[in-house]
Amino acid sequence: MPTAGCAYARTSTFDRRVVAPVTRTSRKMYACPNLATTYRLVPTNIGGPFTMRAPGEAPGLFAIESAMDELAYALRIDPIELRLRNHADVDPETGKLWSSKSLKECYEQGAQRFGWHQRNPQPGSMRNGDRLVGWGMATMVYDAGFSPTSASAQLFADGNVLVQSATCDQGTGSYTIMRQIAADTLGMPMESICFELGDTQMPEAPVSAGSKTTSSVGSAVYAATTFLKSKLLNLAFKDPNSPLYGHIEAEVIVDNGRCYLKDNPTQAQTYVEVLQLPHIESMAAQERIQPDKEIEKFAHYSFGAHFAEIQFHPELGELRVTRYVGAFAAGRIINPKTAHSQLIGGIIWGIGMALLEQSVVDPHLGRIVNSDLAEYLVPTNADIHPIDAFFIEEEDPRVNRIGTKGIGEIGTVGAAAAIANAVYHATGKRIRDLPITIDKLL
């Protein structure tokens, strides 16, 4: 008989129905030859839900990673060891090879930084004065999405480049990293690159969701600027007045907007000079990209491991996440600073999911009654203690043209499970519904 898992989600009888992938990622996590999952919507007379960060994966992984922790205790096996024994070397659902997978490295390096080897596995055995201390961990798995996308790039005679795509920047750093990709591809300083977005008259881009903006739009920007670079160089190669005349692109290096021969750097010409000789005011290129057959041969996912420490005061009922380590493998990281901020923000969302956030519905009116930030609690600075989040170095030439995987959701996925597992280690109480409020621990 297959191992079965079923998720039920509440939806509206009158509003659009949102189908979140609550059980999809569960099928990707561990080597299991006989797994079947289902997802069912239950219509109710309330407003319909809509997506936020990791809308299906966050609750889905809370369930399976809590269950894995419970199994580890039942078998008296270290939670990491249990996961290693069930590590999926290929995609369990499709049998495809992973484009890349550094999950074991995430376990190893995350555990090392956290000090997991010092953990006493007995629940309630670790203390800090009057407070119970709990350590928990969980796996992170998230789809490295990619959607068809277009971008354009235009070089002007003054040496400035305009790149456009109809995406958006929600504060995640799209403006910055698209300029980085364009500058790196063209061999130009970032100061010369302008990236514009947010207008539907620009080249078409997908919705900015599902941790796929960098991979999709970034790949399109890379393709458009690569095409533009080739057009510029070919113009020089065909111009008898150019020092690059008669050569091919493989023989040329471009650095700081200067094109020169690998074997003879003195034979050089700037992009501006390439346009000036034939008196061209600007040159443009536009590309549309979509997943090809070679990419579809592989399963594309980001992986990671969460490690959480909680402290609980049994007399005061105070529960805090006092220390956190997250190790993640997400392919090429374009901008380490903004990417690190994404991880920290995602983990904080996970802390809110685990301990604070809850929508309370009036059973008679079907309306959410805690509809403001005075009663819907979210983490503040005082709630957040040190968070050590980092990336495992990973190269993935098979996921997309620029080797990136999404990072917007990965800090959140699995975080609530790590915290709940830490709560069990401290208190011996297995909490299966969130948030973990004081009344559930007394």
Query: Which residues have a catalytic role annotated?
Result: 409
Kind plus residue range of the DSSP H or E element containing 139? strand 131-143
For β-strands 97-98 and 298-299, DSSP reports them as parallel
> What angle in degrees, to the nearest 10, is found between the helix axes of 174-186 and 213-237?
30
Distance CA 374, CA 392 (A): 39
Distance CA 431, CA 434 (A): 8
Amino acid in the structure at residue 72 = A
**Tokens in use for 395?**
């190269």
Long-range residue pairs from 70-74, CB within 8 A, at least 24 positions apart, any chain: 70/424, 70/430, 73/121, 73/123, 73/424
Distance CA 225, CA 206 (A): 19
Region class of 67: left (phi > 0), else alpha (psi between -120 and 50), else beta: alpha
For β-strands 127-128 and 131-143, DSSP reports them as antiparallel
DSSP classification of residue 105: H
Count each helix (H run) and each strand (E run) in the chain, helices first.
8, 16
For β-strands 35-44 and 3-12, DSSP reports them as parallel
Question: Tokens 């956030």 correspond to what residue?
Answer: 357
Within 8 A by CB and 6+ apart from 280, the residues are: 157, 235
Task: Count CB neighbours of 415 within 10 A.
Answer: 32
Residue of 267, 160, 210 lying closest to 56 (CA atoms): 210
Question: Tokens 């790949």 correspond to what residue?
Answer: 219
Whether residue 435 is preceded by a cis peptide bond, meaning omega within 30 degrees of 0, is yes
